[in-house]
Structure 1
Amino acid sequence: MRFTSLLTTITAGAVLALSGCGGASAEQPGSPEQPAPAVKPTVVLVHGAFADASSWNGVVASLKRDGYPVIAAANPLRGLHDDAAYVAGVLKSVPGPVVLAGHSYGGPVMSEAAAGNPNVKALVYIASFILEPGESTSQLAAKFPGAQLGPTLQTVPVPLAGGGTANDLYIKQDEFHRVFAADVTPEVAELMAATQRPITEGALNEPATEAAWKSIPSWNMVTTADLAIPAESMRFMGDRAKSHSVEIAASHAVTVSHPDAVADLVDQAARATVT
C-alpha cells in the first residue's frame, strides 16, 4: 500500500479508559461534577501532524481562565520515538502532577512519552490513535473506510543531517479547509494551511513500544464529522482499550473549532485524577 493511502487516518484516536476499570460507559447528562483539584495540575498539550502548537491557542486560553498552568509542546514530527523522547523531556521539566493531552498524531507520541512517569495523572486523546505496542499509525490507518486525507497529501523530499533524504508530507493548501478544518472559517483555515507543519512518512511507520493508556486513566474525544479519520475507527480503539469516549460533531481541527469543549474534557480529567 502506498504511504499516502496509509496516511488517511494519521491523525486521530480514542480513549477514556480509567486504568483498572472494566467496560466503557457513556457520560450521562447531569452527572455530579467532580470537585476541582486543590492544586491545579500542569496541562501539557501535544499537537499532531499538519499543525503546530498554536493550534491549541483557544484551548490554552480556556484552561488559563480556569487557573491551569499550560505548556503547548512543539512536537517535532520527525519520528515517533524521537518525538516521544522530546515530549518526555518536556514532562520531566514539570514539577508536580500533569494532565497530558494529545491531538492527532500527538496521541501516539504522548502514549510513549508518558510511560513510566509517575507525575502524569491523566491522558486526554483528542481525535487521536491509541496504539498497542508493535502497532504503527500506518497499520491502523487502513482499518476502516471513509477517510479522505490520503489523496490530498503532497510529498516533499528533504535532506537528512546524516545523509540521504526523507519525505515530508503536507496537505495541499487548496484541500486543507475541506479535509482537515471544515468547521473553521475559511480565513482561519487558510492561515492554518499556510503555516502547517509537515510530518515525515517514516514517523507513521514506526511501531509503538509503549502504551501508557494501559496504566494511566485516559479520556477520549471522538470527532464525528472528521474526514481525516472515521469516527468508527476512534470508537473501535476506544472499545478495544475499554475506554469511555465522548463525541462531538466537529472536524479534525476540533482544537481550533471547539476549544472550550476540548478544555472541558481536560478539566474533567484533572478533576477525576488529581486531588
Structure 2
Amino acid sequence: MTTTRRTLLAGSAAAAAGAALGAPAAQAHPRPDNQPKPTVVLVHGAFADASGWNDVATRLIRDGYPVIAPANPLRSVASDSAYLAAVLATLSGPIVLAAHSYGGIVATNAATGNPNVKALAYVAAFAPDQGETLLGLQTKYPGSKLNEAALDFRPYDAGLVDGYIKRQYFREVFAADVPKATAELMWTGQRPADARTLGEPSGVPAWKNIPSWYLVARNDQVLPAAAQRFMAERAGAQVREVNASHVAMISQPFAAAELIKRAAR
C-alpha cells in the first residue's frame, strides 16, 4: 500500500460478527483494567456526515469509551488533514483514530507525528502511501461504480466544484445494503467533497509507524475490495472482512465497533 500480517476472513455474516482478531507484533501489551480507555475519534468521508457513525458510537460509548466524531470539512486533503490534526491536538491521553472512505486519507495524514495516536482503524477507507491519490487508488482495481455518470458536479465558487452522488445511483453505489428509506435520507443530507480532493497527493502516512486495523467491505461499489486488501496488507494491518456495501459502519456496526475495540486494546 509491505509487510504482511495475518488476515482473518469471516466465512459468513455470523462468523464475521464473532471472529476474533489477532494482535499485530507492533502492538503494546493489553491495557490494564485500571487504566482509562483511549478516546476514539471517528472520521467520516465524502457524501456523508458524522451521523453515519451513530450505531458504532452507541456501542463504544456503552462500553465506556470516550468518543468524538468531528465534522470533516471535505474541502481538500491538506486542509482537512490539518483541521483533524488540530482537533487531535486538543485531546490528552491515548487516541484511536477510526476512519471511513475519504476520511481514511485525512486520518492517515492527520495522525502523522502525533504520539497520542496509538492505533488506526480503517473501515472501507483509503489508506494511501505518500504521493498517492484517491482517484488512483479507487481505479487501481476494477469494480468501482463511482464514475462521472454517477456524480453530479456543482460549481460553488470561481473555478471550484463540489461532487455529489446522483439520486438514481446513490443506493446502488454507496449504500446497497441499508433500507431504501434510510438510503433516501442519506442521499438527501449528503455532504459533497470538493472535486480537487480526487487528485490531491497524500503526505507521509501514519500507518508506517502506528499499528492499524482494517475492515474490508467485500461488496463495496465505491472502493473495490481488492484495493482495500492491497492497502491493508501494505500497511501491515490486522484485517477483517464482511459482506457489506461501502457504508459498512452503518450496515455492520457490530463488526466496525469490534474492530475499533480491538485496536483500542
| Unmatched tracts of structure 2, length 5 or more | 10-18, 24-29
2:123 is the alignment partner of 1:146 = no
The CA deviation string for residues 32-66 of structure 1, in whole angstroms up to 9 with x for no partner, is 89667531100001100100011111111010010
**Structure 2 equivalent of residue 156 of structure 1:** 154
| Unmatched tracts of structure 1, length 5 or more | 1-13
Instruction: Detail structure 1 runs of 4+ shifted over 3 Å in the superposition.
Output: 27-37
2:199 is the alignment partner of 1:205 = yes
User: Residue 220 of structure 2: which of 216, 226, 233 is its match?
Assistant: 226
Query: What letter is aligned with 2:86?
Result: G
Structure 1 CA distance for aligned equivalents of residues 238 and 40 of structure 2 = 20
**Structure 2 equivalent of residue 170 of structure 1:** 164
Q: CA RMSD in A?
A: 1.9
Structure 2 CA distance for aligned equivalents of residues 27 and 146 of structure 1 = 23
The CA deviation string for residues 48-100 of structure 1, in whole angstroms up to 9 with x for no partner, is 01000111111110100100010001000000010001101110111111000
**Structure 1 equivalent of residue 84 of structure 2:** 87
Number of aligned positions between the proteins: 248
Query: What letter is aligned with 2:135?
Result: S
2:136 is the alignment partner of 1:136 = no
Per-residue deviation at 1:176?
1.0
Structure 1 CA distance for aligned equivalents of residues 88 and 108 of structure 2 = 12
Please list, as runs of the form range in 1=range in 2, the aligned pairs for 1:1-275 lying within 5 A after superposition. Answer: 22-27=3-8, 29=19, 38-150=35-147, 151-159=149-157, 164-271=158-265
With over 3 angstroms needed to count, the CA separation of the structure-2 counterparts of 1:250 and 1:236, relative to structure 1, is same
Structure 2 CA distance for aligned equivalents of residues 69 and 149 of structure 1 = 34
Structure 2 CA distance for aligned equivalents of residues 197 and 238 of structure 1 = 27
Contact 2:22/2:238, CA 8 A, preserved across alignment: no
Structure 2 CA distance for aligned equivalents of residues 32 and 187 of structure 1 = 37
With over 3 angstroms needed to count, the CA separation of the structure-2 counterparts of 1:79 and 1:211, relative to structure 1, is same
Per-residue deviation at 1:31?
6.7
Contact 2:6/2:22, CA 8 A, preserved across alignment: no
Corresponding residue SS for 1:100: strand
**Structure 2 equivalent of residue 10 of structure 1:** none
Structure 2 CA distance for aligned equivalents of residues 157 and 166 of structure 1 = 6
Structure 2 CA distance for aligned equivalents of residues 72 and 241 of structure 1 = 24
Corresponding residue SS for 1:245: strand
TM-score with structure 2 length normalisation? 0.89
Contact 2:212/2:236, CA 8 A, preserved across alignment: no
Structure 1 CA distance for aligned equivalents of residues 20 and 187 of structure 2 = 39
The CA deviation string for residues 157-196 of structure 1, in whole angstroms up to 9 with x for no partner, is 111xxxx231100001122111111110111110000000
With over 3 angstroms needed to count, the CA separation of the structure-2 counterparts of 1:32 and 1:223, relative to structure 1, is closer
Query: What letter is aligned with 2:7?
Result: A
Corresponding residue SS for 1:247: strand
With over 3 angstroms needed to count, the CA separation of the structure-2 counterparts of 1:251 and 1:36, relative to structure 1, is farther
Per-residue deviation at 1:125?
0.6
Per-residue deviation at 1:243?
2.7
With over 3 angstroms needed to count, the CA separation of the structure-2 counterparts of 1:166 and 1:62, relative to structure 1, is same
Which segment drifts farther, 85-94 or 239-248? 239-248
TM-score with structure 1 length normalisation? 0.86
Per-residue deviation at 1:241?
2.4
